[in-house]
Amino acid sequence: MPAPAVLPQQQVEELLRTLVKGLRAFQMYLPNNPIYQRAIQNVRAAFLPIWGAGLDRLVLQVVETDLVWEEQVIYHQPNKPESLAWSLFKDGMRVLTFFPGVEEEEIVRFLDIVQRSRTLSSEAGDDLLTLLWEQEFGFVQYHFTEFIPDSGVPGISGEGAYSQAAPTDPNVVEQQKQETRGKVEEEAPRKSGVVDIEDFDSTLYWLDDAEIRAIAEAIEREYKQDLRANVLGVLFDILEQRSEDWARSDVIGTLESYLPHLLNAGDFRSVALILRETRLLVHRPELFAAQHREQLDLFTGQLSDPGVLQQILQSVSEAQTPPSEEDLGELFRELRPAGLETVLVWLPRLPAASAIHKLLASAADRLAETTPQEVLRLLRLPQSEALPAVIALCGRLKLQAAVPGLADTLSHESAAFRLAGVQALDAIGTPAALQALEKTVDDPDREVRIAGVGAMGRRGYKGALRRIEPVVQGKLQRPIDQTERNRFFEAYALIAGAGALELLGTMLSAGGLFKRKEPVDVRAAAALALGRLRSAEARAILERYKEDKELVVRTAVSRALREGGAA
460-513 pLDDT, tens digit each: 999 999 999 999 988 887 888 999 999 999 999 999 999 999 999 989 987 654
pLDDT at 375: 93
Does position 287 have pLDDT exceeding 90, yes or no?
A: no
**CATH class of domain segment(s) 463-567:** mainly alpha
Q: What residues contact residue 19 under an 8 Å CB cut-off, 6+ apart?
A: 43, 46, 84, 111
Does position 527 have pLDDT exceeding 70, yes or no?
A: yes
pLDDT digits (tens, 9 = 90+) for 425-449: 999 999 999 999 999 999 999 999 9
Query: Does 12 or 32 have the greater pLDDT score?
Result: 12
pLDDT at 149: 44
- Classify domain 371-459 by CATH architecture: Alpha Horseshoe (1.25)
Determine the average pLDDT of the residues in 319-327: 73
> Given pLDDT bands bounded at 50, 70 and 90, which one contains residue 456?
very high
DSSP 274-292: HHHHHHHHHT-TTTS-HHH
Query: Does 292 or 5 have the greater pLDDT score?
Result: 292
* pTM, entire model: 0.55
pLDDT at 458: 92
Does position 250 have pLDDT exceeding 60, yes or no?
A: yes
Determine the average pLDDT of the residues in 206-230: 81
pLDDT at 487: 94
> Given pLDDT bands bounded at 50, 70 and 90, which one contains residue 567?
very low
Determine the average pLDDT of the residues in 280-307: 77
On whether the CB atoms of residues 544 and 535 are closer than 8 A, the answer is no
Does position 79 have pLDDT exceeding 90, yes or no?
A: no
Distance of CA 562 to the CA centre of its chain: 55
Distance of CA 424 to the CA centre of its chain: 25
Determine the average pLDDT of the residues in 73-79: 88
pLDDT digits (tens, 9 = 90+) for 132-171: 888 888 899 988 886 444 444 344 444 344 444 334 444 5
Q: What residues contact residue 557 under an 8 Å CB cut-off, 6+ apart?
A: 527, 542, 545, 546, 548
Q: What are the structural domain ranges in the chain?
A: 9-178, 371-459, 463-567
